[in-house]
Amino acid sequence: MRVLSGIQPSGRLHIGNFFGAMRRQLQLQAEHDCFYFIADYHALTSNPDPADVAQRIIDVAIDYMALGLDTEKTVFWRQSDVPQVTELTWLLSCVTPVGLLQRCTSYKDKVAQGMSPNHGLFAYPVLQAADILIFNSNLVPVGADQKQHIEVTRDIAIRFNNNYGEILTVPKEHIIESVAVVPGLDGRKMSKSYGNTIEIFEPESSVKKKIMRIVTDSTPVEDPKDPDKCNVFALLKLVASDDELGEWESKYRNGGMGYGEAKKRLAELMIDYFKPYREKRAELEGNIDYVNEVLADGAKRARAVAVETLAKARQAVGLGA
């Protein structure tokens, strides 16, 4: 099956990105034909500083490659290097009801958070549908909270096919059963918009300082503590072995342990977990030409598929190939 996923170059990746979705995306490479892209067009909806855009694209590319993306097997490219996507977006726009877009909760949530209600943000789901449909994607890995995005894509594809014939592959979502929501330093979901993240590749000294700042309750050292309500324990579950996690659970429930002790061990485990990825990233940072070659090759492979799908769609609507 063909699996498609995109990542926005909106800033440095954090451990919530990795444990929430990326790890499963990378595992899927062994099972399926994967198409993964850097969604730079999507990133423009927030009007980022143009000086930051190019660097963020390279940073995301390096991060994914360092974390285990198989550049021989997986097609990996910049969204903007496949212009056929934007043409298909227009064709899809012409069959997409405004009411469908108005019901999208993502748009409402982002506007409520202060983002400018521009057309790109409003029509984001149509571009996302084109991303998925132009590559004949079968599965799209998403978190449960993003299921609506795939439902909209399916709706658009079905409407297009009803009008013009069975041109587009109607995808299915692949819900990623992550280790719940990864908590940030303040206990809320880890998110760049909350400023509560631990970046995957930030300096080790910074990782330690951030972990020591994780919000905990005021339970005295000598008293029992509930591991199921502790942000530190939730993060320990991501990187500790089953045996060690069992020991920490006993320490929590028996009392006599301070949160600082758990935080120090969490910092050690988190740094050790990502150490080999840090080393790989350092190598890639010293060979940016290679990174760009990978993206260029991926774009070429992606365009070969996109051209065929767009030709069929153009023919179907009467524009010719």
Sequential DSSP letters for 221-247:
TTS---GGG-HHHHHHHHHS-HHHHHH
Measured distance CA(252)–CA(257) in Å, rounded: 7
E strand or H helix at 5, and its extent? strand 2-7
* Structural domains of the chain, ranges and CATH numbers in brackets: 2-181+287-317 (3.40.50.620), 192-282 (1.10.240.10)
**Residues 273 and 50 sit within 8 Å (Cβ to Cβ):** no
- Percentage of the chain exceeding pLDDT 70: 97
Sheet with 33-38: strands ordered across: 75-78, 33-38, 2-7, 139-142, 172-175
Whether the per-residue pLDDT at 178 is higher than 60: the answer is no
Tokens (6 digits) for 275: 């150490």
pTM: 0.89
For the annotated catalytic residues, the residue numbers are 110, 189, 192
Cα-Cα end-to-end distance for the chain:
27
User: What residues pair up with 173 in beta bridges, in sequence order?
Assistant: 140
Least-confidence region, from 116-130, 167-181, 287-301: 167-181
Inter-CA distances, 247 with 2, 238, 240, 250, Å: 41, 15, 10, 5
| Residue 43 CB contacts under 8 Å (≥ 6 apart), including other chains | 8, 9, 10, 53, 56
Q: pLDDT value at position 217?
A: 94
Asked whether residue 192 carries a pLDDT value surpassing 90, the answer given is no
Please give the pLDDT value at position 112: 83
**pLDDT tens digit sequence for 106-122:** 888 888 878 788 999 89
Q: How confident is the model at residue 148 (pLDDT cuts 50, 70, 90)?
A: confident
The residue-averaged pLDDT of 145-172 equals: 92
* Average pLDDT over every residue of 212-234: 95
Instruction: Give the model's pLDDT for residue 179.
Output: 45
